[in-house]
Structure 1
Amino acid sequence: MHSYLTAGLPGTGGTIKESPEDFLVEELPLYPPCGEGEHTYALIEKRGITTLEAIRRLARALKVPEREVGYAGMKDSRGVTRQTVSLPRVAPEELRALELSGVVVLSAVRHRNKLRLGHLAGNRFRIRIRGVVPEALPRAEAVLAVLARRGVPNRFGEQRYGVQGNSHLIGRAMLAGDWRTAVDLLIGDPARVEGEGWRGAIEAYRRGAIEESLHLFPGHCRTEREVLQRLVKRPGDFERAFQAVHPRLRKLYLSACQSHLFDRVVTERLDSLDTVMAGDLACKHENGACFLVEDAAVEAPRAARFEISPTGPLFGCRMTQAGGEEGERERALLAAAGLTPASFDLPGGLRMEGERRPLRVPIGGARAEVDAGGLLLEFSLPKGSYATAVLREIMKSE
Structure 2
Amino acid sequence: MADDPAPEALPFPLYLTHDLPGVGGEWKQTPEDFLVEEIPAYLPSGEGEHLFLWIEKRDLSGEMLLSRISRGLNIPSSEIGMAGIKDRRAVTRQWVSVPAKAEGMVTSLESDDLRVLEAKRHRNKLKTGHLHGNRFTAMLRGVRNDPVLIEAIAHRLRTAGCPNYYGEQRFGHDQGTLALGEQLLRGEKTPADLPPARRRFLLRMALSAVQSQLFNHVLAERLADGLFSQVMRGDLMEVLPAGGKFIVADPEVEQSRFNQQETSITGPMFGMKMRAPEGVPLERERRILARSGFGIEAFAPYASLMEGARRALRFLPHGLTCELWDESDSPPADLSTNHSRSTSLRVSVELPAGAYLTVLLREFQKPEPQRGGTLHESDTLDEAE
2:341 matched to which residue of 1?
none
Alignment equivalent of 1:242, drawn from 194, 211, 220: 194
Distance 1:339 1:78, change over 3 A: farther
The Cα shift of 1:160 comes to 1.0
Preserved contact between residue 92 and residue 109 of structure 1 (Cα < 8 Å): no
Q: Percent identity of the aligned residues?
A: 43
The Cα shift of 1:98 comes to 2.2
Measure the CA separation in 1 of the matches of 2:299 and 2:60.
32
SS of equivalent to 2:175: coil
RMSD: 2.0
Query: Which one has a larger percent helix, Structure 1 or Structure 2?
Result: 1
Preserved contact between residue 70 and residue 115 of structure 1 (Cα < 8 Å): yes
Q: Deviations over 1:77-103 (max 9, x none)?
A: 232221111111245563245225743
Mapped pair 1:264 → 2:234? no
In the alignment of these two chains, the number of paired residues is: 338
1:176 matched to which residue of 2?
186
SS of equivalent to 1:166: helix
Of stretches 275-284 and 164-173 in structure 1, the one that deviates more from structure 2 is 164-173
Counterparts of 1:279-318 in structure 2, within 5 Å, are 279-318=234-273
The Cα shift of 1:124 comes to 0.6
The Cα shift of 1:383 comes to 0.9
Mapped pair 1:367 → 2:342? no
Q: Deviations over 1:219-257 (max 9, x none)?
A: xxxxxxxxxxxxxxxxxxx87443555321221111111
Give the TM-score, by structure 1 length.
0.80
Alignment equivalent of 1:140, drawn from 138, 143, 150: 150
The unaligned stretches of length 5 or more in structure 1 are: 180-237
Mapped pair 1:390 → 2:357? no
Preserved contact between residue 344 and residue 351 of structure 1 (Cα < 8 Å): no
Measure the CA separation in 1 of the matches of 2:145 and 2:238.
40
Distance 1:240 1:248, change over 3 A: closer
The Cα shift of 1:326 comes to 0.8
2:380 matched to which residue of 1?
none
Alignment equivalent of 1:328, drawn from 283, 289, 310: 283
Q: Deviations over 1:26-51 (max 9, x none)?
A: 11112221212111111112233332
Preserved contact between residue 96 and residue 108 of structure 1 (Cα < 8 Å): no
Measure the CA separation in 1 of the matches of 2:245 and 2:145.
44
SS of equivalent to 2:174: coil
Measure the CA separation in 2 of the matches of 1:345 and 1:80.
42
The Cα shift of 1:299 comes to 1.4
Larger Rg computed on CA atoms: 1
Alignment equivalent of 1:30, drawn from 28, 31, 41: 41
Letter of the 1:310 counterpart: I
Mapped pair 1:80 → 2:86? no
Measure the CA separation in 2 of the matches of 1:3 and 1:154.
11
1:380 matched to which residue of 2?
350
The unaligned stretches of length 5 or more in structure 2 are: 1-9, 330-343, 369-385
Give the TM-score, by structure 2 length.
0.82
Distance 1:155 1:397, change over 3 A: same
Distance 1:240 1:70, change over 3 A: closer
Measure the CA separation in 2 of the matches of 1:165 and 1:17.
23
Preserved contact between residue 237 and residue 264 of structure 2 (Cα < 8 Å): yes
Measure the CA separation in 2 of the matches of 1:44 and 1:261.
36
2:332 matched to which residue of 1?
none
SS of equivalent to 1:393: helix
Measure the CA separation in 2 of the matches of 1:154 and 1:90.
41
Letter of the 1:352 counterpart: M
SS of equivalent to 1:156: coil
